Amino acid sequence: MKVNIGGSMGFKKTGRPYENVDSMTYFSIEKEINEETADEEIRALSDKVNKVLAEEATKKMVVAYKTYRDKIIPIGEE
């Protein structure tokens, strides 16, 4: 049996008015699994997807906020 497991995760930081910082990531996997152990394998795959989503969304948020702080804020101060 073939399964697709995926999802999305994102973060939002409120900055100055109309300057919110968002990051969003999407991830999915497709795998052929044995029907006899489907529940266990689906749970394990779901846990892996959630871990990847959390890591990637966090990395993107760090980059987005650094860019906002280092590039966008100084533009407004000019």
- 10-17 contact pairs (CB < 8 A, 24+): 10/57, 11/57, 11/58, 11/61, 13/61, 13/65, 15/68, 16/76
- H or E element at residue 38: helix 38-67
Measured CA to CA, the distance from residue 69 to residue 67 in angstroms comes to 5
**pLDDT tier at 11 (50, 70, 90 boundaries)?**
very high
Give the global pTM. 0.77
Sequence letter at residue 10: G
pLDDT mean over 73-77: 81
* Segments of the chain assigned E as strands: 2-13, 21-32
**pLDDT tier at 39 (50, 70, 90 boundaries)?**
confident
pLDDT at 77 over 80: no
